[in-house]
């Protein structure tokens, strides 16, 4: 009787074992990882962004936490910078007949005009893994919300051009801030030996900003309306992982 019962239990186990495997969370063998991340973005602006600036760059840093179920949350801070300004008539009312800004001594002034800004986002999403030998890697999808600030940077090299000193430059710099939304899709890879960890993909941003100066000297007009700033960027991120699993949990990871 005991042998028959044991045999029935064995057969039942063999029959149910495949279904038990299918019922398991496929992410049960992934790791809980805290990542320090360093990012680079190449932005192609559109909307009001595209009217003010050409393509620009961003570098940033932040943190990204991936759970054992491959949910991810992250926070980041980015520095925006570019060389191309599309407001070609920005300083026309300040230039001499020779087409330059004069210094205090009357000589052509040495100055720079470029784009500067910052952005900060909090994001959440998931890594969609498919390879059971490395369940920490796969398609990465994230969305987030944050803030953005950008302006036209006017910088006198020798600080001897009073027309664009700290006070007057505020009437030309289009200093704008606002709320921004963000979506990312790409591929995230965290190697089993923990040495190569990166993600790459396409980043989309939609922001509604407002000129905080309120008045543009070059246009001699108020600028109080909301602006729609968009960008499509290509992002590469490098991650420095800190594995948070216990020793017992790590013993059961696929390698």
Average pLDDT of 213-229? 92
Q: Read off the pLDDT of each residue in 230-243 and give the average, rounded to a whole number.
A: 97
Q: What confidence category does residue 33 fall into, taking pLDDT thresholds of 50, 70 and 90?
A: very high
Q: Does 11 map to a domain?
A: no
What pLDDT is stored for residue 19 in this prediction?
43
Confirm whether 192 is domain-assigned: yes
- 179 or 160: which leads in pLDDT: 179
Burial (0-12, 13-18, 19+ Cβ within 10 Å), 32: middle
Residue 122 lies in a domain: yes
| 87-143 pLDDT per residue, tens | 888 888 887 767 777 777 777 778 889 999 999 999 999 999 988 889 999 999 999
Categorize the per-residue pLDDT at 18 as very low, low, confident or very high, splitting at 50, 70 and 90: very low
pLDDT given at position 255: 45
What is the chain's Cα-based Rg? 27
Tell me the pLDDT band of 240, cut-offs 50, 70 and 90. very high
Section 38-64 average pLDDT: 97
Q: For the residues 234-248, what does the mean pLDDT come to?
A: 86
pLDDT in the model for residue 16: 43
Report the pLDDT value the prediction gives residue 246, as an integer from 0 to 100. Answer: 56
For residue 158, tell me if it sits in a domain: no
Residue 255 placed within a domain: no
Q: pLDDT value at position 26?
A: 65
pLDDT number for residue 1: 46
Residue span of the structural domain in which 187 resides: 29-85+116-149+174-212+226-250
Q: Is 61 domain-assigned?
A: yes
- Tell me the mean pLDDT in the region 66-86: 96
Mean pLDDT of the chain: 85
What pLDDT is stored for residue 28 in this prediction? 63
Count of domains for the chain: 1
Q: Is the pLDDT of residue 24 over 70?
A: no
CATH code, 65: 2.40.160.20
Note the pTM of the prediction, 2 decimals.
Answer: 0.83
* Three-state secondary structure of the chain: CHHHHHHHHHHHHHHHHHHHHHHCCCCCCCCCEEEEEEEEEEEEEEEHHHHHECCEEEEEEEEEEECCCCEEEEEEEEEEEECCECCCCCCHHHCCCCCCCECCCCCECCEEEEEEEEEEEEEEEEEECCCCCCCCCEEEEEEEEEEEEEEEEEEECCCCCHHHCCCHHHHCCCCEEEEEEEEEEEEEEECCCCCCEEEEEEEEEEEEEEECCCEECCCCEECCCEEEEEEEEEEEEEEEEEECCCHHHHCCCCC
Q: Which two tokens stand for residue 24?
A: 């398991």
The pLDDT of residue 20 is 44
Q: Is residue 204 part of a domain?
A: yes
Q: Evaluate whether residue 76 is within a structural domain.
A: yes
């Amino acid at each position: 009787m005991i042998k028959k019962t044991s045999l029935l239990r064995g057969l039942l186990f063999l029959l149910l074992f495949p279904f038990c495997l299918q019922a398991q969370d496929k992410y049960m063998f992934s790791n809980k990882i805290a990542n320090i991340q360093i990012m680079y973005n190449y932005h192609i602006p559109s909307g009001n962004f595209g009217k003010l600036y050409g393509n620009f760059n961003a570098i940033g840093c932040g943190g990204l936490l991936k759970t054992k179920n491959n949910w991810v949350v992250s926070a980041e801070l980015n520095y925006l910078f570019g060389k191309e300004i599309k407001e070609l008539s920005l300083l026309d009312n300040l230039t001499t007949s020779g087409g330059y800004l004069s210094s205090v001594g009357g000589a052509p002034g040495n100055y720079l005009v470029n784009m500067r800004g910052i952005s900060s986002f909090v994001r959440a999403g998931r890594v969609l893994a498919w390879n059971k030998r490395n369940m920490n890697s796969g398609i990465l999808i994230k969305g987030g919300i944050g803030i953005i600030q950008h302006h036209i940077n006017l910088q006198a090299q020798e600080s001897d051009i009073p027309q664009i000193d700290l006070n007057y430059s505020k009437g030309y710099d289009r200093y704008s801030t606002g709320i921004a939304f963000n979506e990312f899709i790409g591929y995230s890879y965290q190697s089993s030996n923990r040495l190569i960890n990166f993600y790459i993909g396409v980043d989309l941003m939609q922001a509604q900003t407002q000129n905080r100066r309120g008045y543009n000297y070059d246009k001699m007009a108020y600028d109080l309306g909301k602006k729609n700033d968009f960008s499509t960027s290509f992002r590469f991120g490098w991650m420095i992982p800190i594995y948070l699993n216990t020793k017992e949990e790590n013993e059961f990871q696929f390698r």
